[in-house]
């Protein structure tokens, strides 16, 4: 991916003293829906913070993460990622901001099935020169992250489609963590892991985020994990208006 002058400006003006994420009066409605899925008065995540986000299935957690990552756009309100108001960015600028600053562990992983585990992690650095530069030696760093996630040389050379679901989930995490992202977004990242792998995964995730100074926004149905986070947000409690009524009725 090439970086245009406009996107380069959007990425390079970032400073770490700004909140990583700042939302005000944020509303979002899916096409054809009759009510807002999200209606949030305010939300802020500071650099390096680790935040657990909880809420019942269907309450809008993944939708909120997609908004933060600039995958979908709000109906109204302000949403700033590292000081950049996403609604005033072009689609290309949003894509580049995400590539440069956000590591997203998707609920469905979104790996390229025919590429190796290692190549999937290196894709992050193909899409972002900033992340490639911060990784210093991307191939070595990718191998190290995969090894810390419990995937050795034999597994990382395999196609993603030939890995177990839990192994794919850990590849998706390594892909999100490479290149010191300012924000790591993890959407149910432990759903396919047994207890031992989940505990090891949580340690590595928190450790790599701390080493990199990455803020972490972590979504899980596993409420036992909330105790490991200094801050916990309850999405239904953040909601107001019809979005809140819909949740209460569910
Ligand atoms: N692409 C879409 N188009 C229309 N509606 C959608 C879409 N994706 C999600 N929704 C709706 O938005 C609401 C919130 O969905 P979302 O996936 O954000 O919930 P969630 O809290 O992440 O749930 P889960 O815990 O099951 O992953 C649901 O009512 C869902 O049906
Ligand atoms: Mg979800």
Question: Can you give the length of the chain in residues?
Answer: 250
With a 6 A CB cut-off, is 55 part of the ligand 1 pocket?
yes
Q: What is the pLDDT of residue 245?
A: 61
In this predicted model, what pLDDT tens digit does every residue of 215-246 receive, in sequence order?
999 999 888 899 999 999 999 999 997 777 65
* Nearest atom (ligand 1) to Cα of 107: 27
Q: pLDDT at residue 249 above 70?
A: no
CB-count burial class (<10 Å; 0-12, 13-18, 19+) for 240: middle
CB-count burial class (<10 Å; 0-12, 13-18, 19+) for 92: middle
Min mean pLDDT across 3-7, 25-29, 47-51, 108-112 is at 3-7
Q: pLDDT at residue 162 above 70?
A: yes
Q: What is the pLDDT of residue 22?
A: 96
- The residue whose CB lies within 8 Å of the most ligand 1 atoms, and thus the one to mutate among 27, 34, 37, 222, is 37
Write down the CATH superfamily of domain 5-11+20-249: P-loop containing nucleotide triphosphate hydrolases (3.40.50.300)
What does the domain layout of the chain look like in residue ranges?
5-11+20-249
For residues 105-130, average pLDDT: 95
Q: Which residues contact 20 (CB under 8 A, 6 or more apart)?
A: 45, 46, 47, 49, 81, 82, 182, 183, 215
Q: pLDDT at residue 8 above 90?
A: no
Q: What is the pLDDT of residue 107?
A: 85
With a 6 A CB cut-off, is 63 part of the ligand 1 pocket?
yes
For residues 196-214, average pLDDT: 94
For residues 104-125, average pLDDT: 95
Compute the distance between CA of residue 146 and CA of residue 8 in angstroms, rounded to an integer.
Answer: 29
């Amino acid at each position: 991916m090439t970086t245009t002058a406009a996107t380069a400006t959007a990425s390079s003006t970032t400073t770490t003293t700004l909140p990583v994420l700042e939302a005000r009066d944020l509303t979002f409605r899916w096409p054809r829906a009759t009510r807002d899925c999200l209606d949030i008065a305010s939300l802020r995540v500071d650099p390096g913070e680790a935040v657990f986000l909880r809420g019942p299935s269907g309450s809008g957690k993944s939708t909120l993460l997609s908004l933060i990552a600039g995958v979908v756009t709000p109906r109204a309100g302000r949403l700033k990622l590292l000081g950049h108001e996403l609604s005033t960015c072009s689609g290309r600028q949003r894509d580049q901001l995400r590539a440069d600053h956000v590591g997203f562990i998707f609920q469905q992983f979104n790996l390229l099935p025919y590429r190796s585990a290692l190549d999937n992690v290196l894709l992050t650095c193909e899409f972002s020169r900033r992340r490639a530069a911060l990784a210093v030696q991307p191939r070595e760093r990718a191998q190290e992250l995969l090894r810390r996630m419990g995937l050795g040389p034999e597994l990382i050379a395999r196609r993603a489609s030939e890995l177990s679901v839990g192994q794919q989930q850990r590849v998706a995490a390594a892909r999100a963590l490479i290149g010191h992202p300012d924000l790591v977004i993890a959407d149910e990242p432990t759903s396919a892991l047994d207890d031992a792998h989940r505990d090891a995964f949580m340690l590595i995730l928190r450790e790599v985020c701390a080493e990199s100074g990455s803020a972490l926004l972590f979504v899980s149905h596993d409420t036992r994990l909330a105790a490991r986070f200094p801050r916990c947000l309850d999405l239904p409690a953040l909601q107001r208006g019809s979005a809140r009524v819909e949740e209460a009725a569910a």
